[in-house]
Amino acid sequence: MQQTYPCPNCGYPVVYAIRFCGNCGMALNWSTQANHDQLRLPQPKKKEDVLGFVGVLAIVVLIGVLIAGGIILYDSTQTSVASAAPTIQPLPLSVPIPSSPGLYADTGQTIDTITPTLQWNAVIGADSYSLIVSKFPYGAGNIIYSPAQIAGTALALPDNVLAYGERYRWTIEARSNTTTSNISDALYFTTPQPPASTYTDLTYGTSPIIRYPSSGTVSPAASTAPRTPSTLPGWSPI
């Protein structure tokens, strides 16, 4: 005959080794006494033990909630940073292209004026342009004209910038409020020789005796031989 034991929850007789009470459904844990002479049901846990377990469980759950909330907050922060509008960097300006006068090689091409109009292409985004004109042998030490803040795409060189019979080169760069382009390739040209009208002949009769420039050092003319007194008009001995 099977031995029964009262359920510690409702007192209903329970057969040894049954896992659940047939009356109240309580889970049953069986243990052996120290003398091994009989089996008994374990005493239910004390209320303090149950409350302690519940407290520990609540702390674990709270920590888990805090960790999960921190992960969610961090992820949302990163998402906000990633979705923020990127900083707009200014686009680099294209290098302007000089068109005239001159050639890209220093071949001695001669122009017909010492006040030429320098021209180049427009650059998208440029607010102004800067010009650099230098004379042979060029380089930073030979820059003779470098205006900035040029509004258009052409500039007529004023008087007294270029001289006759000299070699020059010029470059251009584009500018905006935030950036500056690279300097363009250079164009080279040579100014013309001074025109004949810049010389004045001092003549005696119909033959030039002295030729001198309108300004500068006096120089002899091609023919400086004076006419002899016998050929001078109106000359007679006294």
Percent of the chain with pLDDT over 90: 41
State the pTM of this model.
0.49
Alpha-carbon gap, residue 159 to 162, rounded angstroms: 7
More confident: 237 or 190: 190
Task: Decide if pLDDT at 131 tops 90.
Answer: yes
Provide the pLDDT for residue 106.
94
Provide the pLDDT for residue 221.
46
Instruction: Kindly state the average pLDDT of the residues 199-223.
Output: 55
Task: Decide if pLDDT at 238 tops 70.
Answer: no
More confident: 181 or 19: 181
Instruction: Kindly state the average pLDDT of the residues 201-224.
Output: 54
Could you tell me the domains of the chain? 98-190 (2.60.40.10), 196-225 (no CATH)
**Average pLDDT along the chain:** 78
Alpha-carbon gap, residue 147 to 172, rounded angstroms: 10
DSSP type of residue 26: -
Give CA separation, 209 vs 104, 129, 171, 216, 222, in Å.
Answer: 45, 51, 46, 17, 8
Instruction: Kindly state the average pLDDT of the residues 2-21.
Output: 79
Digit-coded pLDDT (tens) for 171-180: 999 999 999 9
Provide the pLDDT for residue 152.
92
**Rounded to 10 degrees, what is the CA torsion of 115, 119, 125, 129?**
-20
Decide: 98 and 172 in contact? Cβ < 8 Å.
yes
Provide the pLDDT for residue 206.
62
Beta bridge partners of 134: 143, 169
